[in-house]
Structure 1
């Protein structure tokens, strides 16, 4: 009974910790939908996959979101037609490269500034490499969940045939879909339809966009909030019923300590804004390379984040993402341990 009580306490704490950042990410995502012209956004990104992945990774410096808030923003990038390399680069880098996390890491490891530097460099390099690798898939709809792939297909068709969309009069239904005639159109069509419709009175345009903003926030919170609750419940159960000593017992050698801290990062699912203080508690028993592995891998892949990623990508894609990011993090931490 005490274990169930502990699991519930952890579950609530994970939700309280993650929900504000999920809300922030949803708001940023909705602003991108309503007030940003995706055509201009796409044109500003380089066509080269490597440069696109690098630019997408660097955007993380501008968005104060953790591994919960980055998912809705990355999903919006995909729906606006940005290359997969940009979305994946942002998805992996934003939780570790945003200003709040950099500041908290500096506070925790003030006596070891190299940890702050190598966390930033490692996160940026790994996100760029992984984003470049997945850019090989030219059609992003293959990687997406069927529902999201249908939305992307609709948005692409809207951008290709704007005149046809302008002739459709959307009707709001249940805050989730807009209906034009007998054909259901996803919420993402609002921004495209507004761009091509006849320009209304400025005040009316602002009210329409504000209504679309509020509606989209409600929809995304309903979709992603349910996933976050499920992922937090799984993370809490694993933390309680899988003894932490099993993971920590692996941390005796250089290689095993890196593996142990990566596993611990995935299990505890702690927010990247405070994970540096959690890692600091292991500084006396684990190597610096393993601490770096924890600080780099945790914000990219943890159980809570995987649940949110399933709202965007197919499970097979997330498995490849997990393996590739894990291997690169391991190699980076191992190289730091032996050469720096």
Structure 2
């Protein structure tokens, strides 16, 4: 009974912690639909993979959201035809490369400022590298979920014609009830009250889809935390290798929001290596059990596994280097 109540408490805490940021992400996604010209947005984004991935990785300063709120925004960018390096870079780095998280990390590790700089630097580097890797794929659509792939095709080809209106309504790119009319034409003709209604409808559609997945992901994360004693992970030792693996595993399991994870990691600072603490702070915001379900609304399973393995390998190698250098 105690385990059940503990599990419920964990589930509710994860959900309450993440929901405001999911709402923020959905709001930003809706605002992108209403006030951003998709054509101009794509034109200003760098086409060169390295520069595009770097720019995308730094967009978190404009959209300060955690690992729950970044998914709706990244999904919108991909659906609008933004280059793959930009969108993937944003997806992975936004939970860390934003002023809220940087300030929270500085507050928690004020006595260890190198942790703050290394977290930002590693997150930016890993997101940029993975963005470049995805940029080598000439056509991202085979990796996307059918709905997002279809919308991206329409935007890239600039062919606004659909045969099944209901298939594109959830993306918010077309005005509800008028699927044959390009959104950009609608923006020029509708009143502000109609714009607001479109914004609300878009948010409701995305929140309905992503909210259910967030609930499921939070439940899975809570079950794992209760079912697998944390001591099993923590007792892996102080080794340069094992400590990094332990903290990466812990980051994925506990699914702590990036706005507060620095304070959680601070409790291990006296017993774990600096590299392992850094691994927790870098890997968790990119990939955890709570966010995997949300990322699956953008990419197919194969691409998500690819993202997971690349992020895990790069984080492990970077943080192992920190441990070996300190030792």
TM superposition score category, shorter chain reference = over 0.9
Q: Would the alpha carbon gap of residues 30 and 137 (structure 1) be closer, same or farther in structure 2, given more than 3 Å must change?
A: same
**What SS does the corresponding residue of 1:104 show, helix, strand or coil?**
helix
> 1:205 aligned to 2:191?
yes
* Structure-2 separation of matches of 1:81 and 1:69: 20
- Structure number with larger C-alpha Rg: 1
Which contiguous aligned blocks of 4+ residues in structure 1 show a shift greater than 6 angstroms? none
What residue in structure 1 maps to residue 316 of structure 2?
A: 330
- Tell me how far 1:61 sits from its aligned partner: 1.9
Are 2:236 and 1:250 equivalent residues in the alignment? yes
Partner residue of 1:23?
23
CA deviation vs aligned residue, 1:152-211 (integer Å, no higher than 9, x gap): 233444x245xx68xx9x99x8xx865xxxxxx9631239724235943xxx43222211
TM-score (norm 1): 0.90
1:267 aligns with 2:256: no
Match of 2:73 in 1: 73
Aligned length: 322
Is the contact made by 2:173 and 2:183 (CA closer than 8 Å) also made in structure 1? no
Gaps of 5+ in 1: 179-184
Give the stretch that moved more between structures: 215-224 or 1-10. 1-10
**1:294 alignment partner in structure 2:** 280
Structure 1 range deviating more: 1-10 or 84-93: 1-10
Q: Does 1:320 align with 2:293?
A: no
TM-score by length of 2: 0.93
- Residues 119-134 of structure 1 correspond to what in structure 2 (within 5 A)? 119-134=119-134
Shift in CA distance, 197/16, structure 1 to aligned 2, threshold 3 Å: closer
Distance 1:316 1:177 in 2: 24
Q: Residue 234 of structure 1 is aligned with which of 204, 217, 220?
A: 220
Give the whole-Å Cα distance in 1 for the aligned partners of 2:171 and 2:8: 36
Structure 2: runs of 5 or more not aligned: none
- Partner Cα separation in structure 2 for residue 245 and residue 87 of structure 1: 37
| Matches of 1:337 and 1:190, distance apart in 2 | 53
Work out whether residues 251 and 258 of structure 1, in 8 Å CA contact, stay in contact via their aligned partners in 2.
no
